[in-house]
């Protein structure tokens, strides 16, 4: 199987869907002439032309609204944000329009739109460019939220998102665009709402998603050397969330650690903790532990940023705590 970059997987997914369906188009800042801020749409302007590859002004509220409105006349837009931090400027269009059109029209209209771009921290970018909004969007009924962690998942899930009849929030990472992984040349899709067991284990379940899951992999490798077997689950989709896969794993391992790059109050790991204790309380041999960022805006200082972000050592400590070691 060939190996390609994350950005190439995203580009392939969009290009393949645009070839199959003329209603699909891409819109956002620098997506066309510049080949995308992160080169995730490289070469697409040459193939699809300016009518389907649309460079926009710096106005997230404006082009988000145009995208939502265009779905009502039969299009299937992909709206790219240079970062999801900038989506806050257009969040009214996403929350109050895209997410509610189907219900408020009594089912007369759906809104098949994908909002995609980078989420969370990406190095020294400061507090206003380093925020994770997965749980914000997942809190809103009517939206689906996908956060892939590798090229294979990114391509398969993005193709499913573009074909979906509901609005989908598709969150990537600036620090993953250069990541390489095996991706089939033949067409494939991955169903939305299905988690993936990336590593099987017996002693403790570690759940994560997005780029921070790399810290879970590193921790699992280290713990294996100490005789602790970790099962690592990549949620991939945080709405709908695959509770069944997580709960089945917890019933096997009897312990759960959740790693999420997000502020600690009211996030995805909080919701998952509640569901597991409600549905599998008698199987737990230790309290559920969740690992998040510090409860502050992201610092710019590299020394402080290192302390702010969760890392593999935090995961190792949490696993040993639930193992009573």
d(CA 158, CA 116): 9
Cβ atoms < 10 Å from Cβ of 243: 17
Catalytic residue among 60, 80, 134, 172: 60
174 DSSP assignment: T
pLDDT for 289 = 98
pLDDT of residue 1: 87
Cα–Cα distance measured from residue 235 to residue 237, given in angstroms and rounded to the nearest whole number: 5
Of the candidates 12, 17, 80, 129, the residue annotated as catalytic is 129
Return the pLDDT at 250: 98
Which stretches of 127-262 are DSSP H helices?
A: 134-138, 151-163, 213-225, 243-253
Buried residues in 86-95 as b, exposed as e (16+ CB within 10 A): bbbebbebbb
The question of whether 186 is a catalytic residue gets the answer no
**Per-10-residue mean pLDDT for the chain, 325 residues long?**
97 98 98 97 98 97 98 98 97 98 96 97 95 97 98 98 98 97 97 98 98 98 98 98 98 98 97 98 98 97 96 98 96
Rounded distance, CA 213 to CA 309, Å?
12
Nearest to 75 by CA among 10, 28, 21: 21
As a whole number of angstroms, the distance between CA 249 and CA 58 comes to 45
pTM assigned to the model: 0.97
Residue 294's pLDDT is 97
Active site residue 17: no
Q: How far is residue 318's CA from residue 258's CA, in Å, rounded to a whole number?
A: 9
């Amino acid at each position: 199987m060939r190996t390609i970059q994350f950005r190439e997987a995203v580009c392939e997914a969009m290009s393949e869907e645009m070839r199959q369906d003329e209603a699909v188009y891409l819109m956002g800042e620098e997506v066309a002439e510049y080949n995308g801020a992160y080169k995730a749409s490289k070469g697409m302007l040459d193939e699809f032309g300016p009518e389907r590859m649309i460079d926009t002004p710096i106005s997230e509220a404006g082009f988000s609204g145009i995208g939502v409105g265009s779905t009502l006349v039969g299009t299937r837009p992909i709206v790219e944000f240079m970062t999801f931090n900038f989506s806050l400027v257009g969040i009214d269009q996403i929350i109050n329009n895209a997410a509610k059109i189907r219900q408020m029209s009594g089912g007369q209209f759906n809104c098949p739109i994908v909002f995609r771009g980078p989420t969370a921290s990406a190095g020294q970018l400061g507090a206003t460019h380093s925020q994770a909004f997965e749980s914000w969007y997942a809190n809103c009924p009517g939206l689906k939220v996908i956060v892939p962690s590798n090229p294979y998942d990114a391509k398969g899930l993005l193709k499913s998102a573009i074909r979906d009849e509901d609005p989908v929030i598709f969150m990537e990472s600036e620090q993953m665009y250069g990541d390489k992984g095996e991706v089939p040349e033949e067409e494939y899709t991955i169903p939305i709402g299905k988690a993936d067991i990336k590593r099987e284990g017996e002693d403790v379940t570690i759940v994560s998603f997005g780029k921070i899951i790399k810290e879970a992999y590193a921790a699992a490798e280290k713990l294996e050397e100490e005789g602790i077997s970790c099962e690592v689950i990549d949620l991939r989709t945080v709405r709908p969330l695959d509770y069944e896969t997580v709960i089945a794993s917890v019933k096997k391992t009897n312990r759960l650690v959740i790693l999420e790059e997000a502020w600690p109050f009211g996030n995805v790991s909080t919701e998952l903790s509640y569901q597991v204790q409600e549905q599998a309380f008698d199987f737990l041999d230790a309290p559920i532990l969740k690992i998040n960022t510090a409860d502050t805006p992201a610092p710019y200082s590299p020394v402080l940023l290192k302390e702010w972000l969760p890392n593999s050592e935090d995961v190792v400590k949490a696993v040993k705590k639930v193992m009573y070691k």
